């Protein structure tokens, strides 16, 4: 009965989402058959144990990379498959986890779709990264004898309220999990409202264990030369509408104080590149596109980053990063750890409710600052004159989540070969 009700709700939600989906057709057209469960990944799996990792988007996928490295050391014979929800997450998985036997989009969580997919993969263990919970996926993994583990777990304040409203369903879902490995004590308390606390352990945040893709000195110099960066440079990263407009209005004041200041803008979603370009044209900013380096003269105020998957590189050639999604309440922040991991101080806005743990740790390690739009000009002026120094010792004190995760998994996960 619960499964029938859940399937029905998914269908109704799908109907409501159809207009938005059709408007974004170009974004999804190459993945529709996979998302609807009409096409499945082509898997070439042996009888060796299978670990299935599901990570929604880029941030969750990067967190998973920190775990995979130690997983393969502890369990060298395992096969890994990775599923994602977003296109950016899928691209990151193919880039950061090339050793995976398959990279695919997770289809809609209908019972008949998940039954076929889980039977095909037959995972020994399913790892859900952070906070993406799918009822039929979990049910069918358990029915086939697999374990289900939440890693780097979190429940935002908003999600916690929603889960409490649907408390009966949440308890049923969470009762199927074998282990909850969460980021901090706050999440421990929230999960313990729905499941026995003996299943929950605080392991820390896997993102602190990520090994960044550092550029060599010559590579950094080459990228600076390509972008013609000779003076102070800041990047507005993972921005949403209308953050670019708001931030540029404040930067107009900064340009009076620092006339040679260069600003890179990297919108969160590629479909917004044209919108941001139009904004720069309307406001008469001189700008160039990163995808056309021959167009860059060095005299531009702004360089629009209109390419995906290179944000880590750009963080390494700027003096300061401002991470978006944190000045608009409905987003709640993005990955502020990434710039810090490559030694670049980070600024972020007041709306960080989806990244509360990272926010507290960044502030604690003195690797970044929380600002408002009103304090932005004064703060950046000070930091451009007296830069923050990021201590590697402070960063290392936050690490260790991957090792704690592996230590706990050894007691729960049985990785045995099986017939296929």
CATH label of the domain that carries residue 249: 3.40.50.2000
**Cα dihedral angle (183, 187, 188, 191), rounded to 10 degrees?**
-130
Task: Name which of 156-160, 173-177, 181-185, 316-320 the model is least confident about.
Answer: 156-160
The label of the residue with tokens 């978006």 reads: 324
Cα–Cα distance measured from residue 382 to residue 305, given in angstroms and rounded to the nearest whole number: 26
* Per-residue model confidence (pLDDT) at position 395: 61
* Per-residue model confidence (pLDDT) at position 47: 86
Share the mean pLDDT of the chain: 90
Q: In the predicted model, is pLDDT for residue 411 greater than 80?
A: no
* Per-residue model confidence (pLDDT) at position 24: 63
Domain with residue 79: its CATH number is 3.40.50.11720
Same domain, 87 and 103: yes
Residue 20 domain flag: no
Residue 129 domain flag: yes
- Residue 199 — φ and ψ, nearest 5°? -90, -5
Active site annotation includes 243: no
Same domain, 190 and 313: no
The first and second tokens of residue 136, run together, are: 């039929």
Same domain, 187 and 324: no
Q: In the predicted model, is pLDDT for residue 390 greater than 70?
A: no
Contact call for residues 150 and 179 (beta carbons, < 8 A) = yes
Same domain, 295 and 238: yes
Same domain, 226 and 263: yes
- Residue 82 lies in domain: 30-204+400-418
- CA 177 to mean position of chain CA atoms: 23
* Per-residue model confidence (pLDDT) at position 420: 52
Residue 18 domain flag: no
Residue 86 domain flag: yes
Task: Report the b/e string of 146-170 with b at 16+ CB within 10 A.
Answer: bbbbbbbbbbbeebbeebeeeeebb
* Per-residue model confidence (pLDDT) at position 133: 94
DSSP, collapsed to helix, strand or coil, labels residue 311 as helix
* Per-residue model confidence (pLDDT) at position 239: 98
For residue range 196-255, what is the model confidence (pLDDT) as tens digits? 999 999 999 998 888 888 999 999 999 999 999 988 999 999 999 999 999 999 999 999
* Per-residue model confidence (pLDDT) at position 11: 78
Same domain, 242 and 363: yes
**Vertex 12, ends 9 and 15: CA angle to 5°?**
150
How does residue 373 score in pLDDT terms, banded at 50, 70 and 90?
very high
Same domain, 189 and 221: no
Residue 352 domain flag: yes
Residue 7 domain flag: no
Cα–Cα distance measured from residue 347 to residue 336, given in angstroms and rounded to the nearest whole number: 8
* Per-residue model confidence (pLDDT) at position 233: 97
**Is residue 353 packed enough to be buried (19+ CB in 10 Å), middle (13-18) or exposed (0-12)?**
middle
186 or 3: which carries more pLDDT confidence? 186
Overall number of domains in the chain: 2
Same domain, 200 and 339: no
- pLDDT, average across residues 107-129: 94
For residue range 84-110, what is the model confidence (pLDDT) as tens digits? 999 889 999 999 999 999 999 999 999
Cis check for the bond before 242: say yes or no (omega within 30 of 0).
yes
Same domain, 414 and 392: no
The residue among 173, 130, 136, 124 whose CA lies nearest residue 151 is 130
Kindly list the strands in the beta sheet with 200-202, ordered across the sheet, starting from the edge strand earlier in the chain.
102-105, 79-84, 50-55, 125-129, 147-153, 179-182, 200-202
How does residue 392 score in pLDDT terms, banded at 50, 70 and 90?
low
Q: Quick one: how many helices (H) and strands (E) in the chain?
A: 19, 14
Catalytic residue among 60, 92, 130, 244: 60
Q: In the predicted model, is pLDDT for residue 359 greater than 70?
A: yes
Question: Most distant CA pair in the chain: distance in Å?
Answer: 69
For residue range 20-69, what is the model confidence (pLDDT) as tens digits? 665 665 666 677 888 888 888 888 888 899 999 999 998 899 999 989 98
* Per-residue model confidence (pLDDT) at position 297: 95
Same domain, 393 and 404: no
* Per-residue model confidence (pLDDT) at position 245: 97
Q: In the predicted model, is pLDDT for residue 10 greater than 80?
A: no
Same domain, 354 and 368: yes
Residue 210 domain flag: no
Residue 19 domain flag: no
- pLDDT, average across residues 167-177: 95
Same domain, 199 and 124: yes
Cα–Cα distance measured from residue 378 to residue 68, given in angstroms and rounded to the nearest whole number: 42
Percent of the chain at pLDDT above 70? 92
Q: In the predicted model, is pLDDT for residue 167 greater than 70?
A: yes
């Amino acid at each position: 009965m619960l499964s029938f009700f859940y399937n029905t709700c998914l269908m109704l939600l799908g109907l409501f989402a159809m207009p938005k989906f059709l408007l974004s057709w170009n974004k999804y057209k190459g993945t529709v058959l996979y998302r609807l469960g009409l096409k499945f990944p082509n898997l070439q799996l042996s009888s060796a144990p299978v670990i299935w990792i599901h990570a929604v988007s880029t941030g969750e996928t990067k967190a998973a990379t920190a775990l995979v490295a130690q997983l393969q050391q502890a369990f060298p014979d395992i096969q890994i498959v990775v599923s994602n929800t977003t296109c950016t997450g899928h691209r990151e998985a193919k880039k950061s986890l090339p050793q995976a036997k398959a990279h695919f989009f997770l289809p809609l969580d209908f019972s008949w779709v998940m039954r076929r997919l889980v039977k095909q993969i037959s995972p020994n263990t399913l790892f859900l990264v952070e906070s993406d919970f799918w009822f039929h996926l979990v049910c069918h993994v358990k029915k086939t004898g697999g374990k289900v583990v939440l890693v780097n777990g979190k429940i935002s304040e908003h999600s916690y309220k929603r889960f409490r409203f649907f408390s009966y369903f949440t308890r049923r879902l969470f009762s199927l999990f074998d282990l909850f490995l969460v980021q901090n004590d706050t999440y421990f308390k929230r999960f313990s409202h729905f499941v026995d606390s003996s299943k929950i352990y605080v392991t820390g945040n896997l993102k602190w264990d990520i090994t960044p893709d550092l550029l060599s000195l010559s590579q950094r110099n080459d990228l600076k030369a390509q972008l013609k960066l000779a003076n102070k440079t800041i990047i507005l990263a993972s921005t949403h509408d209308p953050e670019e407009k708001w931030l540029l209005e404040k930067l107009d004041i900064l340009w009076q104080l620092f006339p040679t200041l260069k600003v890179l803008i990297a919108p969160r979603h590629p479909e917004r590149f044209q919108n941001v370009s139009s904004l720069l044209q309307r406001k008469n900013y001189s700008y160039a596109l990163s995808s056309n380096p021959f167009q860059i003269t060095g005299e531009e105020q702004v360089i629009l980053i209109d390419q995906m998957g290179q944000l880590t590189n750009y963080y390494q050639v700027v003096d300061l990063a401002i991470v978006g999604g944190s000045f608009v309440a409905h987003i709640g922040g993005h990955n502020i750890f990434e710039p810090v991991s490559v030694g670049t101080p980070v600024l972020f806005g007041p709306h960080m409710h989806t990244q509360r743990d990272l926010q507290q740790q960044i502030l604690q390690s003195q690797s970044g600052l929380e600002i408002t739009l009103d304090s932005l000009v004064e703060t950046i002026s000070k930091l451009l004159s007296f830069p923050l120094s990021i201590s590697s010792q402070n960063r290392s004190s936050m690490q260790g989540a991957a090792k704690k995760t592996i230590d706990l998994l050894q007691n729960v996960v049985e990785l045995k070969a099986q017939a296929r």
